[in-house]
Structure 1
Amino acid sequence: MKPTLLLAALMTLSSPTLAQDLPAPPDVAQRPHTVTAPHGAQRQDEYYWLRDDDRNDPAMLAYLNAENAYVDAAMKPLKPLEDALYEEIVGRIKQDDSSVPYRERGWWYYTRFETGQDYPIYARRQGDMQAPEQVLLDVNQMAAGKDYFNVGDWETSQDNHLLAWAEDDVGRRQYVIRIKNLDSGEVFDDRITGTSGEMVWADDNKTLFYVENDPETLLTVRVKKHVLGTPASDDVLVYEEADDSFYMGIGRTRDDQYICIGVESTVSSEMRCAPAADPREFTVLAPRERDVEYDADHHGGRWVIRTNADGAENFKLMTAPSDATSRAQWRQWIGHDEDVFIDGFELFDGFTAIGERSGGLERIRLLKGEPGIADAPAEYVKVDESAYSMGLSVNSESDTDWLRYSYTSLTTPDTTYELNTRTGERRLLKQQPVIGYDPSQYTTERLWATARDGVRVPVSVVYRKGFAKDGSAALLQYAYGSYGYSMDPGFNLPVVSLLDRGMVYAIAHIRGGQEMGRKWYDAGKLLNKKNTFTDFIDVTRFLVDQGYAAPDRVAAYGGSAGGLLMGAISNMAPESYDVILSQVPFVDVVTTMLDASIPLTTNEYDEWGNPETSVESYEYMLSYSPYDNLDAQAYPAMFVGTGLWDSQVQYWEPAKYIARLRDLNTSTEPVLFRTNMDAGHGGKSGRFRRYRELAEMYAFMLDRLDVAEPAQ
């Protein structure tokens, strides 16, 4: 490394915009290292040494700090634009805002923010919203003096007197559970470390079940039982998962009768439940089987199960008696439909709400009567736009005719409605306040792009009215495309700043997500993974061909597995993009998937393949892994970000990627690499600080795309 020469070179940067001829970026030493697969294949990884699990290697930290200094200096001319973007974004936020209250066991719970404060206040009122407020947690006070702070899950005891919560002050998602008395405000000495943050109270109001992480792999491996007032070292092991390809969670059923431990891998799941009043023995609802997934809830004296068993790839709904212990006791209620994906359900005393996907869009089906009745008449919650997102909201109580659901689109801020399923009356409970925003000034469309293999890919676009589809505009295209996660077209507050500057924003609903059902996911994973990347590229070319963007004014954005997407398209079609924005990117696929000690690797085998046991998987992954496919070619301008304490994608993946990219890149376009030294996978904590990071990235993009300021 040459930090002295670097800093001296950076001092010469004084252009009013980010200069085309940037000074020399940081240099970092190469150290020969061979990565050998169990089947004998070898690869050279000259930057492997940048991995430091303890995150205290001086040479590694010096390199990350040098890259940060480079970003600081390179972005200095764009600081006025960054500040303007930040002020625009936070200026749209109603700072003294609060959530829609929901009722549970006689108390109304809600979250509120105060003006100028970064963190939420969790509170409740007894009986009605006119009662005195009781603050559960003031996260602003808890976060004072900390670079990072996050409250994960929190749960009140069944008698409403105790609160357990999970907190993380590093960003690594290793939570500490604390407990306090809500009547007196006393915080007990109980301190449970190394947890996933998930917890459940038993009915005795003194026993807390929680999920413990493995300290090295961060896998959710054990459920333990803690008794209030006893040391955590005395906590009793309730269940331990032996298969390291499974995740674990814990929760209560809809009717509060059972506490259930759920484990799931990419292709299999299993639940074991115990009576919440006497949770001494957890009984398996149905033993796990490969390629059989299920999740279940209990209400009205029966289980309702969502499953893909027996070839129901888009899932179906079954019912079973309370004492069920095998699939033989399940009975079909809602059959499989190859055109409709069942995403989830909510049970009420007189009806059931089912979240579905059809034609690439979400919908909610309402079925009257008790679960299990065949041919029950179905109704659908109405929608108002061609491209939107909707889903079940917080429905904490089952003895009601009212269904709460959320609705949003690329032009409609997040909205919560409640619908009377008996009379059809609909109430608007809240719409996200967006200061200075007029939705009538923006237009959203649902388009269909044809991929190179003939498959039609849905695309959601939004732009400001007055936009001319003449092939001159700048475009930001976003996607994720992994794990079956669907990127639905919801309102994006920061994007308004781009639309007001004449840009088009598009979400490509590519294979690897689940927008078009389970087949859509299966067609974008394992040995089909390249469909994810080619879909994205084909959507870009479609939008350019249709006049939504100029061919030389296209930016792409993705994070985490979406960062893998960014790395792949940069290698495969660098000429199609002018700017790549990539956050916490998964770019070193093969080396990571060969190392079971890296957090979460073993959970991923059925998503990417296992290169240790399958030569075919190894070679296929190697053929697209961004780090391994960097080549001597001209790459677009890039802004890549990571977090030193990231628990999902380790910081060294993008660090190595940038180091090798700098060696091979033949273009003069700037490549910036920002490491957040105080955060993990989700970036900085707090509702405002994350927008500062986004504003910096947006400023970089706007400058490279030559986007003008918005018209006044």
Structure 2
Amino acid sequence: MSHVDSVPAAPQTPKIPTLRTHHGDTFRDDYEWLREKEDPTVVAHLEAENAYAEAVTADQAPLREAIFDEIKARTVETDLSVPARKRGWWYFTRTAEGSQYAIQCRVAATDTGDLEVDWTPPAIEAGIEIEGEQVLLDGNKEAAGKPFFSLGGMAVSEDGTLLAYAQDNAGDERFTLRIKNLTTDELLTDVIENVFYGLVFSPDGTRVYYTVVDDSWRPHQIKAHTLGTDPDTDTVIYQEDDPGMWLGFDLSADRTELLISIGNSEYSETLTLDLLNESAQPVMLISREHKILHTVDPVTLNAERCYVITHDRDALNNMVSLLRADQLTLPYAQQRWDTVIEHRDTVKVEGTASTATHLIIAVRKDTTERIAILPLANLGTPEQQEPVEPSFDEELYTAGLANAELDAPMIRLSYTSDFTPARVYDYTLADGTLTLRKQTQVNDYDPSNYLATREWASASDGTKIPLTILRRKDVTKTTPQPVLIYGYGSYEASMDPGFGIPRLSLLDRGVVFVIAHVRGGGELGRAWYLDGKKLTKKNTFTDFVDATTYLIDSGWADPARIVALGGSAGGLLMGAIANLAPQLYSGIIAQVPFVDALTSILDPELPLSALEWEEWGNPIEDADVYAYMKSYSPYENVAALPYPKIAAVTSLNDTRVLYVEPAKWVAKLREETTGTAPIVMKIEMDGGHGGASGRYEGWKTRAWDYAFALDTLGLNSEGA
């Protein structure tokens, strides 16, 4: 009996009709009942889905194990980060072979007066503790006996004696805040439940600032907790009541101001709180009423407080301006915003950071992220110097700021490309010297065996779509190849070059891995994003289909062996292309897929729904948006089509894309498909939006996805 013959029938999903009516349109939803997460019938159904997925993919188990073993073998498991100096200490992480989680450590820094010596990281050896080394937090001990572990933030007090940290043990991104005395290694009695990402100590170490989410999982409050007091009495520093606005905070480089940011994808607001004054109230810097999307970086120039603002005020791709504090008392129209970086059509400014002497500017040019450095001297004046960009020897790479301390003579940069494992550089601000501090080691890997190239597909409207094509050097398009094509295309997120060990297991089996940089992402600036959101969202989907067609027409792809992959909003993309062009794909993998988008966004009580209106439009109030979304939302558009082999991968405790979306979608696909290919759902019962926690579990998840892809592409020799 063959494996296919031995697979049991797919779970039968009962139909319990629910009617949803908006703008005179009624939609019958037979599977909405699957939303009742605590219902034993729903749980039993999900368990049955897991059993079916396991049965369908049973012959992939040896391949999954092989991929996992390859990832493990290539990974230098006992490793450490490059120490970063912060306020008298060198902070770093260790990972040990056999351990799932990192260990957070530090060792005291010394000051000799020689800046180069004092800012050269200490030599840390894997597995060898150095004199004076202190363990701040061991993730493995914290995770022991718990189904899930993730850190949502860590902060050390200014004097280095206290550690605040937040951990999630369910995967729902609701964290418990605890505080540890680093002198005695004991936990304080302060325990605060249900906090969100981000933690900051007050300069005197007596208070901790944190955020809280509302019932829809939107961060809506910033609170201050005074150590030793009842958390129920914590002070609300700021509350944001607009359901369509996201709240967060950051710390100024000199750690004296808490910058409160409120915003969505189209405009924002910034207030500042003086942390040196316990009775201070937030002060408005830039109001949302001006409809400017911006970020703010406080600096001090010639003893005067100023604000470096990255903004889209008459600048689609952003520009950088300098606003002096004395201008804040003037009406907005009368304020003087001195230009630091002019707007450019071909360069997107992503934001800034600062030291006491330099401004660091993150820019996106020629699709890739890079760094420019500019002295603060004469900033915003005609005497201002030109920015300097560190040069690297690859065309497609990602360079970003890893750390910038106020008084540091150098900044820490991260660097990677598709076939260059992560590097850590220190950039000396005085003379531009780049010092390589670490090259991540990868076992059994020779980068010269692989190639990353850029090609451009043509969309149906003539738009050129950038494609990143990754392959072994000996794989060419003289013969059509098996292809895995990946896409995202939402929220202005860019799919930047970055090294990944798991991907090598695909490439070494002859797969061409293609990243389609479709509209809705940010690779080609703000216009690229705007042309793939709201009422132009369908460009994201048609771009992906056109990119796939290009791969066939150009000779890269074997038309019978193409698998598509995407997650979250990229999962919506997978659902859309399954409906648009199922014949192009032999398989589709949708990770935590946003495939029931219209149902979710129509309910403002669901997690994050109201925040999505700025990305997709508001279908509750706008009939045109409703009609447009209904015309592409994957679940509503499942039809009698020959769907290919499909895997929906999700997690029970995901709060960003609820498990019910892929559960409903899979049921509807099975009901409607005219094909015979299996459609499965794998659900992680103890995971969140990123799946199960721990690096080994993460490798297993990736191995599952890649084994499914390889099997679909006819490359499962282990399971033959």
| Residues 489, 518 of structure 2: 8 Å contact kept | yes
Q: 1:390 is matched with which residue?
A: 399
How many Å separate the matches in 2 of 1:601 and 1:27?
A: 30
Shift of 1:324: 4.8
Q: 2:96 is matched with which residue?
A: 114
Which of these residues, 525, 543, 549, is aligned with residue 533 of structure 2?
525
Q: Which amino acid aligns with 1:115?
A: E
Shift of 1:709: 5.4
Shift of 1:704: 1.4
| Residues 20, 669 of structure 1: 8 Å contact kept | no
How many Å separate the matches in 1 of 2:642 and 2:551?
A: 23
How many Å separate the matches in 1 of 2:260 and 2:433?
A: 38
**Structure 2 matches for 1:565-604, cutoff 5 A?**
565-604=573-612
How many Å separate the matches in 1 of 2:515 and 2:109?
A: 43
Q: 2:49 is matched with which residue?
A: 67
| Residues 307, 325 of structure 2: 8 Å contact kept | no
| Residues 582, 641 of structure 1: 8 Å contact kept | yes
| Residues 285, 324 of structure 1: 8 Å contact kept | no
How many Å separate the matches in 1 of 2:149 and 2:190?
A: 20
How many Å separate the matches in 1 of 2:682 and 2:261?
A: 37
| Residues 343, 357 of structure 1: 8 Å contact kept | yes
Shift of 1:289: 2.5
Shift of 1:435: 1.1
Q: 1:544 is matched with which residue?
A: 552
Where 1:356 maps in the other structure, the secondary structure is strand
| Residues 20, 670 of structure 1: 8 Å contact kept | no
| Residues 309, 323 of structure 2: 8 Å contact kept | no
**Structure 2 matches for 1:161-560, cutoff 5 A?**
161-214=161-214, 216-279=215-278, 280-289=280-289, 291-300=291-300, 301-325=304-328, 327=332, 328-370=335-377, 371-374=379-382, 376-395=385-404, 397-560=405-568
| Residues 200, 250 of structure 1: 8 Å contact kept | no
How many Å separate the matches in 1 of 2:517 and 2:540?
A: 9
Shift of 1:23: 3.8
Q: Which amino acid aligns with 2:600?
A: T
Q: 2:19 is matched with which residue?
A: 34
Shift of 1:63: 0.8
| Residues 478, 507 of structure 1: 8 Å contact kept | yes
How many Å separate the matches in 2 of 1:574 and 1:21?
A: 26
How many Å separate the matches in 2 of 1:574 and 1:640?
A: 15
**TM-score, normalisation: structure 2:** 0.93
Q: 1:8 is matched with which residue?
A: none
Q: 1:50 is matched with which residue?
A: 34
- Deviations 1:338-372 (CA, angstroms, capped at 9, x unpaired): 21100122213333221111221223222234232
Q: Which amino acid aligns with 2:16?
A: R
Where 2:564 maps in the other structure, the secondary structure is strand
How many Å separate the matches in 1 of 2:654 and 2:538?
A: 26
Q: Which amino acid aligns with 2:9?
A: A
| Residues 512, 523 of structure 1: 8 Å contact kept | yes
CA 131–317 in structure 1, closer or farther in 2 if over 3 Å, else same: farther
Greater CA drift, 668-677 or 325-334? 325-334
Where 1:317 maps in the other structure, the secondary structure is strand
How many Å separate the matches in 2 of 1:478 and 1:162?
A: 43
How many Å separate the matches in 2 of 1:550 and 1:365?
A: 42
How many Å separate the matches in 2 of 1:709 and 1:445?
A: 28
Q: Which amino acid aligns with 2:338?
A: R
Shift of 1:21: 8.5
| Residues 148, 171 of structure 1: 8 Å contact kept | yes
How many Å separate the matches in 2 of 1:582 and 1:203?
A: 45
Greater CA drift, 656-665 or 690-699? 690-699
The alignment of Structure 1 onto Structure 2 pairs a total of residues equal to 690
Where 1:628 maps in the other structure, the secondary structure is helix
CA 642–222 in structure 1, closer or farther in 2 if over 3 Å, else same: same
**TM-score, normalisation: structure 1:** 0.94
How many Å separate the matches in 2 of 1:421 and 1:230?
A: 44
Q: Which amino acid aligns with 2:707?
A: A
Shift of 1:421: 3.7
- Deviations 1:151-200 (CA, angstroms, capped at 9, x unpaired): 11000111111111111101111111111100001101111112113221
How many Å separate the matches in 1 of 2:381 and 2:92?
A: 36
Q: Which amino acid aligns with 1:337?
A: R
CA 324–436 in structure 1, closer or farther in 2 if over 3 Å, else same: farther
How many Å separate the matches in 2 of 1:146 and 1:88?
A: 28
How many Å separate the matches in 1 of 2:88 and 2:310?
A: 34
How many Å separate the matches in 2 of 1:643 and 1:305?
A: 41
| Residues 501, 708 of structure 1: 8 Å contact kept | no
| Residues 386, 445 of structure 1: 8 Å contact kept | no
How many Å separate the matches in 2 of 1:41 and 1:185?
A: 61
Q: Which amino acid aligns with 1:80?
A: P
Q: 1:90 is matched with which residue?
A: 72
How many Å separate the matches in 2 of 1:708 and 1:387?
A: 31
| Residues 489, 570 of structure 2: 8 Å contact kept | yes
Q: 1:9 is matched with which residue?
A: none
- Deviations 1:11-50 (CA, angstroms, capped at 9, x unpaired): x7x53xxx3895421101001110122x332111010111
How many Å separate the matches in 2 of 1:504 and 1:303?
A: 50
Greater CA drift, 420-429 or 310-319? 420-429
- Deviations 1:544-585 (CA, angstroms, capped at 9, x unpaired): 222222111111110000000000001001111111011110
Where 1:218 maps in the other structure, the secondary structure is coil
- Deviations 1:268-324 (CA, angstroms, capped at 9, x unpaired): 111111222114211011111263111111122433333434321111111122355
1:561 aligns with 2:569: yes
How many Å separate the matches in 1 of 2:650 and 2:390?
A: 40
Where 2:228 maps in the other structure, the secondary structure is coil
How many Å separate the matches in 2 of 1:709 and 1:255?
A: 58
Q: 1:699 is matched with which residue?
A: 707
Greater CA drift, 226-235 or 267-276? 267-276
Where 2:570 maps in the other structure, the secondary structure is helix
Where do 5+ consecutive residues of structure 2 fail to align? 111-121, 123-129
Shift of 1:383: 2.2
Q: Which amino acid aligns with 1:87?
A: D
- Deviations 1:187-238 (CA, angstroms, capped at 9, x unpaired): 0111111211322111221111111111x21111111111101111111222
Greater CA drift, 245-254 or 402-411? 402-411
How many Å separate the matches in 2 of 1:424 and 1:155?
A: 30
How many Å separate the matches in 1 of 2:137 and 2:20?
A: 48
- Give the aligned CA root-mean-square deviation in angstroms: 1.7
Q: Which amino acid aligns with 1:647?
A: T
Where do 5+ consecutive residues of structure 1 fail to align? 1-11
How many Å separate the matches in 2 of 1:420 and 1:685?
A: 37
Where 1:77 maps in the other structure, the secondary structure is helix
**Structure 2 matches for 1:86-165, cutoff 5 A?**
86-127=68-109, 129=122, 131-165=131-165
How many Å separate the matches in 1 of 2:52 and 2:145?
A: 27
Shift of 1:468: 2.3
How many Å separate the matches in 1 of 2:313 and 2:369?
A: 24
How many Å separate the matches in 2 of 1:262 and 1:639?
A: 38
Percent identity, aligned pairs only, is 40
Q: 1:4 is matched with which residue?
A: none
